[in-house]
Amino acid sequence: MVARFISGKSIEGALRYNEQKAVKGKAACIAAAGYPIDKELLSFHHKLARLNNLAALNSRVKTNCVHISLNFDPSEDLSDQQLCRIADFYMKEIRFSFQPYLVYRHDDAAHPHIHIVSTNIQPDGKRIALHNIGRNQSEEARKKIEKIFGLVPAESRKKEQHIYLKPVASEKVIYGKSETKAAISNVVREVIRSWKFTSLAEYNAILKRYNVMVDSGKEGSRMKEKGGLVYVILDEEGNKTGVPIKASSIYTKPTLARLKPYFEENKERRKPYSDRIKNCIDSALENQQINCKEDLQKGLAQDGIQVIFRENAEGRTYGVTFLDMKAKVVFNGSDWGKAYSASGILKRLGPDAKTEKIVRLQNEKWVWEVLQDIDFSKGFASALAQLYAKGIVISRQENEDGEITFCYESRQNPKPILVPTDKKMNAYLLANEYSLKIENSLKEKLQSVFKILPSIEFLKNRIEDLLEAEKESGNYPLNQRRKKKRSKPNW
């Protein structure tokens, strides 16, 4: 069983939501606890008046509505009597047993579930504190109910099976098949509850998956200036259809003013998922089989990531959005810099990038194969000689911050092919004080003599001479400080 405890400021809104379902035959009131007459004799006015009269006893409390949903596994066939007993036990456990409440059975989803409407204002005017009830008392009540009534525990279901416990928001809205306002409300409520987005554009990227769109109006329009929002249903071709619904008229009131705090909060909530998505993008772009937008979309779909390219009327791609369907998080490519923007992605997918990608992968494979044959146990000079004999010389680079890095460079190719060394090799070269002078000597002095006497022993001796000359020149760092024992990598 899954319990959702929601507090709000509109008793009438919560009650009307359930009553409208009942009028359409999609729900039924199965219990009215704390009411003086039977549920069959209660009108909408009677139901509302009982709760509103209590709420009026403490006008200072604005959050005075409690709207609970108890969701059960699709395999469970529960009678109205069993559902009422479960509702009574739950309300007793969260200390609401003396409050009036209404229980509705809903038949509009793939799983059985009930809704409970009540108020937290007591007959003496005091309020019941709602803080953390959903996390504490509600969770304890859920666990007890599962044991006592023999229900399927929420924890026993795999994550992917929880889709059956979601509301109809997980289903696409099709205009004409369901009441517009209710359908939009279901989608919006589920998206806000489950997804992490930081702007209207990202919010829309998710909503459009369910044929819903939020519109803030055209530039210069009154709606745009006032910060208004309307929600509209889209047809299968992505065109607006039906009558737009004002955000303020929807039960949860998903207006721009209410969405902005979510935007700020989600900036922090989505950070832990950033690296995974970037790594998946980089890995896909490294794949030789991925050469266009469609290939990238298919490749990332295997990692649970949906890619949406945004195009203007002329067909030019101006933006890209990534939706992680597993973590329920959205990122714009530009959030990570130019390399992940639409233009950066297209550049990395282009023919030049494809050629560079293939060459780079071939070079990395070649360097790796060479390294497997190098015997590092015979000393630094011998290791450099073996690499040089196989066509590799080490290139030493220093950035503006003074950080030193190294690359494997092909000595035979007129256009150097650089493959970055790993951390282990970097440490080995730094420990042995590999200098720019040694690098230049290997490239210039040995290039000609190697053609005459191409032996490893000859190269080793010449490199040892270079190292000794460096020491005697006073430039070699080992002359300026106590010589340390050189570490040998565990290759």
Cα–Cα distance measured from residue 234 to residue 88, given in angstroms and rounded to the nearest whole number: 41
The mean pLDDT of 404-433, rounded to a whole number, is 78
Of residues 70 and 439, more confidence is placed in 70
Q: What percent of the chain has pLDDT over 90?
A: 29
Determine the distance from the C-alpha atom of residue 376 to the mean position of all C-alpha atoms in its chain, rounded to a whole number: 44
Q: Which of 335, 314, 341, 330 is nearest to 208 (CA)?
A: 330
* CB-CB contact of 100 with 11 (8 Å): no
Tokens of 152: 């399927």
- Domains plus CATH for the chain? 2-163 (3.30.930.30), 180-269 (no CATH), 271-349 (no CATH), 357-479 (no CATH)
Structure tokens at 312: 């203007």
C-alpha torsion angle, residues 69, 73, 74, 78 (rounded to 10): -70
The token pair that represents 397 in the structure block? 């680079």
The secondary element (H helix, E strand) that includes residue 322 is strand 317-324
Bigger pLDDT: 130 or 171? 130
Question: What is the CB-side half-sphere exposure of residue 470 using CA atoms within 13 A?
Answer: 20
- Kindly report, residue by residue over 110-155, the tens digit of the pLDDT: 678 999 999 999 999 999 988 888 788 899 999 999 999 888 887 6
Task: Determine the average pLDDT of the residues in 253-279.
Answer: 91
pLDDT at 158 over 50: no
Lookup: tokens for 33: 């606890």
Give the per-residue pLDDT at 50. 94
Check residue 169 and give its pLDDT: 35
- Residue 165: the pLDDT is 28
Count, residues in the chain: 491
Lowest average pLDDT, out of 24-28, 54-58, 211-215, 412-416, goes to 412-416
End-to-end CA distance of the chain: 55
pLDDT at residue number 159: 40
Q: Which has the closest alpha carbon to 341: 316, 324, 325, 318?
A: 318
Query: pLDDT at position 231, please?
Result: 92
Which range has the top average pLDDT, 23-37, 164-178, 305-319, 445-459?
Answer: 23-37
Nearest of 15, 2, 92 to residue 49 by alpha carbon: 15
Please tell me the predicted confidence (pLDDT) of residue 406.
85
pLDDT computed for residue 313 by the predictor: 67
Mean pLDDT calculated for residue range 256-268:
91
Q: Three-class SS of residue 83?
A: helix
pLDDT at res. 185: 85
DSSP E strands: which ranges in 354-451?
Answer: 392-398, 404-410, 418-420
Question: The tokens of 490 are what?
Answer: 């565990």
**Rounded to an integer, what distance in angstroms lies between the CA atom of residue 426 and that of residue 404?**
9
pLDDT at 481 over 80: no
Question: Listing from the earlier edge strand, what are the strands of the sheet with 101-106?
Answer: 2-8, 65-71, 113-119, 101-106, 27-33
pLDDT at res. 478: 40
Q: What is the mean pLDDT of residues 403-423?
A: 74
Q: Does the structure show a pLDDT above 60 at 43?
A: yes
Residue 455 backbone dihedrals phi, psi, to 5 degrees? -115, 150
- The encoded tokens of residue 61 equal 């409390």
- Predicted pLDDT of residue 135: 80
Question: pLDDT tier at 234 (50, 70, 90 boundaries)?
Answer: confident
Q: How far apart are CA 261 and CA 127, in angstroms?
A: 27
Neighbours of 353 (CB within 10 A): 14
Q: Is the pLDDT of residue 246 over 60?
A: yes
